[in-house]
Amino acid sequence: MKYEFLWRNKWITFDAETIDDFIKTYEQLAQMFKDWKAKGVELDKESGVSDDYATFYTENEDVAKEYGFEEPWEEEEEGCGCCCACCEEECDEEEKKEN
């Protein structure tokens, strides 16, 4: 089983008030990524790193639980492709209006 963690770089230092705050934040993040790497976590190179998001993955369930990784969402085949079927009827109605 593959487990994923979606990482976003935006807002990392939104509450920083000093250069020391930046240093502390980035040192903590560097340590976290080093820990992930040591436990076999990989970067999904197809995850769109250039758009401010990165997906990391592991197949180790214990590592996934330790760091909050989740099973990936599967897209619905019908409707808008969102993560759940609850809006499928609404999506179908919107599609009819567009056609």
Angle CA(73)–CA(78)–CA(84) in degrees, nearest 5? 40
Residue 47 pLDDT: 81
Q: What percent of the chain has pLDDT over 70?
A: 74
Q: Identify the band that residue 75 occupies on the pLDDT scale cut at 50, 70 and 90.
A: low
Residue 52 pLDDT: 82
SS3 18: coil
Q: Identify the band that residue 93 occupies on the pLDDT scale cut at 50, 70 and 90.
A: low
Distant-in-sequence, close-in-space partners of 45: CB < 8 Å, separation ≥ 6: none
Radius of gyration of the chain (CA): 18
Q: Identify the band that residue 30 occupies on the pLDDT scale cut at 50, 70 and 90.
A: very high
How many CB atoms within 10 Å of residue 59? 13
Q: Identify the band that residue 79 occupies on the pLDDT scale cut at 50, 70 and 90.
A: very low
